[in-house]
Amino acid sequence: MKSAAFHLAVLATVAFSVMAAGRHPSEILDTTPPGFSIEAAKATRPSWGFVRHTQQSHNIQKMQGSHGKTNIKSVAAILGAYQRLSGLGYGYQNITPTNAYGTQYATEVLFNGHPLYLLVDTGSSDTWAVQSDFDCLDYAGESIPQIACQFGPAYPDSFQYGATEPAQHMFIRYGDGEIVAGPMGYSDVTLGNITVTKQEICLANTTYWFGNNRTSGLIGLAFPALTNAYLGSGLDHNRGSRIEYSPLFTSMVSQGKVPPVFSIALDRNSTGILAWGGVAPAVGMNTSRIASLDMIIVNMIDRPEASYDYSFYTIIPDGWEYDQTKSTKKHPYIVDSGTTLNYLPPSIAVAINLAFKPPAVYLWQYGAYFTQCDAIAPPVGVTLDGITFWFNPVDLIYRGWVDPSTNLCMTAIANGGAGPYILGDAFMQGAVVVYDVGEAKMRFIHRPYY
């Protein structure tokens, strides 16, 4: 039986059930990804109305960008690992750590009053920071100097309210093999001017990690179904010992600190705004152009235990426009702040990359497309609720990611295999993204060329 926190107002994962009215989302899809089920989330409170949809939040905090490996903690890594492990023969390929570096967005978080910079990830749910005495491991599981994991300052204290009883630990193995593990306990967590009391967190004491020398952990803003806590201590874990708990945003809402909505506005100059309980006050926001789409819950169903492991903030766009071509095929897309690139259906990804002048080429060692760094990008837009959100051409070529053997630059459009597909940071830079969990809606406020 699910925990009580699972059924609080913030949880659109109550919506593992069918749509309350209208067509089931699977009926409007052109294809359903193998190994996945698609369900509509249910609203858990009355509609705010248009005025509330544009109401700016006073609970805001700045985000700063750090450069790091593009897909370390991303939805792309998780889905790709699952698709490969399940023998489906396709999926996302991870960017290698050698040269493919992108921007990861982080914000200041206080653990019991102690400031830390943590990565912001809407594609996961656990909140954790590395402990000062953590064990840094290499790829073979051998202990190496802590500096090799490239964390920022470690958390120097213990849990404010003690460890969980009975003992629990977090264990996460990310899609590219990275590992984070450590005990679970309770501490006050402060973001901006909001303090979540006695939040369950992890203090990681064992990691295999590729850091950026600035951030000390991660805050996950997704649903309880994505938490990774297990009974016992150490590294032992199995599905039978998994314990679902209330993650940070769930607790923030259940404690009455904010309405069940948050929003993110990313800037390409490696800054951004994270807003709790309303809309981020972003420059260039056009409130006359707001797209509103149903929030869809995506569950992996090929293996029984996977049905509760991964669920994400997902929408079904109307289609794509690119290089005088229009596609209206319906596919599920996950909106994820932890993924840098955009992962599209193969036919669309190939067509867009061929439309660069000169055309982009696929480099297998990166699992991505590259073109001349001074190439001309084609017009590319994704249509949401009848509104086409055009990408800024600047966002379609990462001129800071140069392959040393070819001197080519990476494009922002990648092959997403069988899906679900992903709208990552390169898309989010053109919109204020509102995660309206209470209404089970994703809202997008046009923000052209910011």
pLDDT at 80 over 80: no
**What pLDDT sits at residue 83?**
44
Q: Do 330 and 340 form a contact (C-beta atoms < 8 A)?
A: no
Residues involved in catalysis: 121, 336
**What pLDDT sits at residue 390?**
93
Instruction: Give the amino acid at 47.
Output: S
Output the average pLDDT for the chain: 78
Instruction: Give the amino acid at 77.
Output: A
**What pLDDT sits at residue 350?**
96
Q: Which residues does residue 217 pair with via DSSP β-bridges, in sequence order?
A: 129
Any residues with CB less than 8 A from the CB of 448 and at least 6 apart, and which? 284, 286, 390, 392, 430
Q: Which residue is it, tokens 């209404």?
A: 439
pLDDT: is 93 or 278 the higher one? 278
pLDDT at 1 over 70: no
Query: What average pLDDT does range 329-340 have in this prediction?
Result: 86
Tens of pLDDT, residues 44-60: 444 444 335 555 555 65
Tens of pLDDT, residues 11-36: 333 232 223 334 555 555 566 555 44
Query: What would the two tokens of residue 204 be?
Result: 């990681």
Q: Which residue is it, tokens 């001074």?
A: 374
pLDDT at 436 over 60: yes
Query: What would the two tokens of residue 292 be?
Result: 């509103």
- Give the Cα separation of 57 and 280 in Å (integer): 6
- Give the Cα separation of 258 and 437 in Å (integer): 12
CA atoms within 13 A on the CB side of 225: 22
Tens of pLDDT, residues 166-211: 999 999 876 556 789 999 999 999 988 899 999 999 999 999 988 8
β-pair type (179-191, 262-267): unpaired
Evaluate whether the domain defined by 104-261 bears CATH number 2.40.33.20.
no
Tens of pLDDT, residues 231-276: 987 667 777 788 889 999 999 999 999 889 998 888 876 678 888 8
- Give the Cα separation of 438 and 420 in Å (integer): 23
pLDDT at 309 over 70: no
Q: Is 80 left (phi over 0), alpha (psi -120 to 50) or beta?
A: alpha
Tell me the pTM. 0.81
Asked whether the CA dihedral 158, 112, 261, 342 is positive or negative, the reply is: negative
pLDDT band at 92 (very low <50, low <70, confident <90, very high): very low
Q: Do 280 and 57 form a contact (C-beta atoms < 8 A)?
A: yes
CA diameter of the chain: 60
Of 301-315, 331-345, 351-365, least confident by mean pLDDT is 301-315
DSSP helix/strand/coil, 339:
coil
pLDDT at 396 over 90: yes
Tens of pLDDT, residues 94-123: 322 222 345 678 889 999 999 999 988 888
Number of Cβ atoms within 10 Å of the Cβ of 244: 18
Q: Give, as one character, the DSSP assignment of residue 365.
A: T
